Structure 1
Amino acid sequence: MFSSIRGFLGRHKRKFIISGMVVGGAVLVVRYVGHKLEQWREEETTEILERAQRRSHFESTERTCDQTIVSLAPTVQETICGLTDTDRIVEQLKTAQPDQKLELWAQLKVLTFTRACVLAYGGAMLVATLRVQLSVIGGYMYQDHAGPGRVSSALQESYLSLCHHFLSHGVKELCTLIQDKVVAATRNLSLKQKLTLQDVEQLFWTIQAQVATDTLEPLRNMSRYVLLPALDALSYNLSDHDSEVLARIAAETADILDSDEVASVASSSVAHAFSALIDGLCEGFCAVRSSKESLNDPVPGHSRAPPRPNGTLPFSHPNAVLMPLAKLIPLVNSVIHNFISGDRQAPWLYHHLINDKFKVLSANIYEAFCQKP
């Protein structure tokens, strides 16, 4: 029997060898595939956990950013209102001599439109700066989990304080630039000149166009207005290592702030702010439609409908209402007052804070700096 078994094995030796190789290879392949699947699952789990951790850290950074913006808003608002003090001019008008009133009205006209424009630009610049800064330092801090000690608390504080330049100098420079454009755009507007809402909107577009063509246009040279100059930034009492890191981060932040992407998002946010201002003025134009004085001279092409049987005037489109500049200026001031003292916190910043483009921008910056070597 053993001889027959040996004979059988001898006759089929090659088949057994090949079958063994096939089975052994299959076992190795199965084990290799199983190992790779397990490795892939571990990598996927790690990546999911890292994404969740980054998401949680970013959301925390976003909340901190919003709180920081809202906390700095009153200081920026106070600075802007102080530089464009219309209340002082209004008080002077009450006691001024007739020959002084024309000059005071000219000042009031310039300061009123300047304040409206500076609030729109300043709000966008403040939000853009802090979203960029918090996203950059947030990315560095996330990396710091892997290599502790790279971003010290002193470095973080010094870096975030760079934007205080905007409060002390940038806002003043912004006001000066925009005031020059307002003077040029409103030079030929007399107090008796009547404007439609569309005319007012066109006036704001003219100011924006003139600002956009200036060599110091704020949205494309944002770092000039909002960040402390590099040499001054290095005057902080930091270690040599932290000074080097601060110089690098500050340079990276300046490059981001002056990029086309940030300028585009900020420009879009400024446009939303002006739209909100026009919407506020629209309510004012609608409110005066029942005034006989405001409806005496309808706009060409817009006929005035006769009164209704109950004596009330029918609805008139805001663009069918003419308002003298002397009445428009107090209306603009009233709308601005609502923007800076509304029910919500920092209402003049509201349209910038909820701008999804800013949020997407900050998320992209954070993600890039999280993975930066």
Structure 2
Amino acid sequence: MSLTSFVSRHRRKLYAVTGAVAVSYVAYSFLKSKLSDLQGQLVSDRTNKEKLRRRFAKNQADAELTIMALLPALCEHLERTFPVDETTRDLQSRRNVTATASTDTESVSSSTYTLLESTERKKTKKELWDDLKIQSLCRTVTLAYGLVLLTFFTRLQLNVLGRAAYVESVAQTLDGGAGGPQAEAQAARTLKVSEHYLNFSAWFLNWGVDRLCARVEEAVRDVFGTIQPRTELEADELAAALGAVYGHLDVVGNAAEFLLPTDADDVAVVMRLVPAVGDADLDVAADDPALRALLDETADLLESPQARRTLAGMTAAAFGLLDDALQRDFYFTVPASSTEVPPPPARPVPAGPEAGSENASAAGQDASAAVQSASPTASASAGRAKLASILAGVGRQAGQLALADQDLNLYFKAISEVPELAAFCAVVYSNY
């Protein structure tokens, strides 16, 4: 049988086999190409996600450092508003002058008595104790709320800017990294807008905190105004009084009121904090579209339900820590000199309808020690403590709140580890 006759007889079969092989080869090549593309896409997606994760983590770390850098300014402002140290010194000097006058009456001249009487007319010992009571409670409560708001607002700002920077980097990558004078000018202007936007935290630290102080002082006076420093309080009574203070406030529901200016004049004041450079292409006005877009987005996020849930969780963590520290110090056989703060409680605490540096810390601790030395002796009866003694513990917690060290400030650690905060930051950062 010749090859020609064999091909002639089986040509249809040979055509079919050849066609099948050709189709199989084409299909194999197509599938191989697609699988290669898919594999490359998966690797690229995994790499991009890892880059995004690293950038997000670095953004949160930068935010924590920024918060610690801003905390001393908050503490200094509150120390001026509620001068606990100054009142303590006045109270101690009054006590010392009185003791000297009673033990050495023969050696005290009439001029000394005149000076003492003049001092008495300025402010009595009872008035000083009332001032110390209100100032101590207001400083610590305001500092706790202030740390919550400062942490939340700084994390929000840096995540908004971090997301914009990430989107810009992706766009440049897709464009092949094209630069030039126009791109450099745009980058410089974006940096200037970001600088103005970040400076709005200064409004909270200088003016918004005054609103917060006024609200807290009103609540503290309503609840503790009639409670005398020598009054003995049981654990439940102290918890109820502090809960009533939190209940008077609506910081969570009105966070934007404390964090962002609403008046055009206030906005102009913040804008002047960044000096003009005299370049029309770089100078940013209050109505600059890019800046207004950032501020409007921030305001919308502050009023969102997720933001309120996040602030409620952070507030509960901070005041749960404060309540538990006072309970341990004065009702559960923990030495009064202990500065240990327990871990955040699992139980919720009242927090309204919705919910420093080493010098600052040392000042708070010195003040609380001075208060303790000047305070009437704490009650020895089980389960009761005098408010005057409790104020010393309140001062110690102010010192802990003022620590400008993210590893040592247990209040900052507690509010930063609230799950809702991490989730909120992730939503903001990935919303592009």
TM over 0.5: yes
User: Match for 2:321: what amino acid?
Assistant: A
1:12-91 alignment, distance < 5 Å: 12-91=10-89
CA contact (8 A) 2:140 2:397 kept: no
CA contact (8 A) 2:378 2:386 kept: no
2:428 counterpart residue number: 365
1:20 to partner: Cα distance: 3.2
1:304 counterpart residue number: none
TM-score, normalised relative to structure 1:
0.80
1:295 to partner: Cα distance: 3.3
2:216 counterpart residue number: 178
1:65 to partner: Cα distance: 1.1
Aligned length: 338
TM-score, normalised relative to structure 2:
0.70
2:367 counterpart residue number: none
| Cα displacement string for residues 283-338 of structure 1 (whole angstroms, at most 9, x for unaligned residues) | 4312579x996234x4xxxxxxxxxxxxxxxxxxxxxx201223222332233234
1:294 counterpart SS class? coil
CA contact (8 A) 1:181 1:207 kept: yes
1:152 to partner: Cα distance: 2.2
User: Match for 2:315: what amino acid?
Assistant: V
CA contact (8 A) 2:69 2:404 kept: no
The percent of aligned pairs where both chains have the same amino acid is 22
> In 1, distance between residues paired with 2:216 and 2:13?
91
1:323 counterpart SS class? strand
Q: 1:24 to 1:259 in 2, by over 3 A?
A: same
1:313-328 alignment, distance < 5 Å: 321-328=383-390
> In 1, distance between residues paired with 2:290 and 2:404?
41
1:352 counterpart residue number: 415
> In 2, distance between residues paired with 1:267 and 1:255?
17
2:379 counterpart residue number: 294
1:226 counterpart residue number: 259
1:40 to partner: Cα distance: 0.7
User: Match for 1:360: what amino acid?
Assistant: A
> In 2, distance between residues paired with 1:340 and 1:138?
27
1:182-331 alignment, distance < 5 Å: 182-211=220-249, 217-229=250-262, 231=264, 232=267, 235=271, 238=283, 243-285=288-330, 286-287=333-334, 294-296=379-381, 298=382, 321-331=383-393
1:34 to partner: Cα distance: 0.7
Q: 1:106 to 1:260 in 2, by over 3 A?
A: same
| Cα displacement string for residues 111-159 of structure 1 (whole angstroms, at most 9, x for unaligned residues) | 2221121111111110101111111100101111124646722122111
1:346 to partner: Cα distance: 5.1
Asked if 1:139 corresponds to 2:191, the answer is: no
Higher mean C-alpha displacement, 50-59 vs 147-156 = 147-156
User: Match for 1:22: what amino acid?
Assistant: A
User: Match for 2:255: what amino acid?
Assistant: M
CA contact (8 A) 2:143 2:401 kept: no
User: Match for 1:227: what amino acid?
Assistant: L
1:82-161 alignment, distance < 5 Å: 82-94=80-92, 95=94, 97=120, 100-145=124-169, 146-147=171-172, 149=186, 152-161=190-199
User: Match for 1:207: what amino acid?
Assistant: V
| Cα displacement string for residues 19-52 of structure 1 (whole angstroms, at most 9, x for unaligned residues) | 3333222222211111111111111121122122
CA contact (8 A) 1:256 1:262 kept: yes
Higher mean C-alpha displacement, 132-141 vs 267-276 = 267-276
CA contact (8 A) 1:86 1:108 kept: yes
> In 2, distance between residues paired with 1:23 and 1:119?
78
User: Match for 2:402: what amino acid?
Assistant: I
Q: 1:14 to 1:131 in 2, by over 3 A?
A: same
| Cα displacement string for residues 219-261 of structure 1 (whole angstroms, at most 9, x for unaligned residues) | 2332321234484269575358992111111111221122222
CA contact (8 A) 2:229 2:388 kept: yes
Q: 1:367 to 1:283 in 2, by over 3 A?
A: same
Unaligned runs of 5+ residues in structure 1 are: 212-216, 299-320
2:202 counterpart residue number: 164
> In 2, distance between residues paired with 1:295 and 1:241?
61
What is the aligned-residue RMSD (CA, Å)?
3.1
Q: 1:292 to 1:62 in 2, by over 3 A?
A: closer
1:354 to partner: Cα distance: 4.1
Unaligned runs of 5+ residues in structure 2 are: 95-118, 173-182, 277-282, 337-375
> In 1, distance between residues paired with 2:77 and 2:286?
35
